[in-house]
Amino acid sequence: MKATVYVTIKENVLDPQGNAVQGSLQTLGFGEVSKVRIGKYLELQLDTNDRAEAEKRVKAMCEKLLANTVVEDYRFELEG
């Protein structure tokens, strides 16, 4: 089974990197870009077929390591 994890910066937390990229996009003429938020994308290959168990364990992975919930949100998808 494959888990795809998205870690994003919380809405109320400043993302200076995103702001800089937004500025660059505008410089390039993409004036319609009003906001950019940069996050992380992780692919995990899991040796299990138990979806419910995988759900529980990937959540624990996110809470314990993959995201810092003080400043980041996470969501994930399971496939296969």
Partner 1 sequence: MKFAVLVFPGSNCDIDMLKAVEDVVQQPVDYVWYTSTDLSQYDAILVPGGFSYGDYLRCGAMAQLAPVMQEVRKAAEEGKFVLGVCNGFQILTEAGLLPGALIRNNSLKFRCHPVDLRVENAGTGFTKDYEQGEVVRIPIAHGEGNFYCDEETLASLRKNNQIVFRYAGDNPNGSVDNIAGICNEKGNVVGMMPHPERAVSELLGSKDGARMFTSVLNAWRERNGAASVR
Token look-up 């660059």 returns 24
- Minimum CB separation of residue 17 from partner 1 in Å reads 6
Alpha helices in 1-80 (DSSP H): 16-27, 51-61
Copy the structure tokens of residue 68. 């810092």
Binding mask 3-22 for partner 1 (x = CB under 8 A): ---------xxx-xx--x--
Distance, CA of 30 to CA of 71 (rounded, Å): 28
Distance, CA of 68 to CA of 8 (rounded, Å): 10
Applying CB under 8 A, which of residues 55, 59, 60, 68 lies at the interface with partner 1?
A: 68
Nearer to partner 1, 68 or 80 (CB): 68
When asked if residue 71 is in the footprint of partner 1 (CB under 8 A), the reply is yes
Give the residues lining the site for partner 1 (CB under 8 A). 12-14, 16-17, 20, 65-66, 68, 70-71
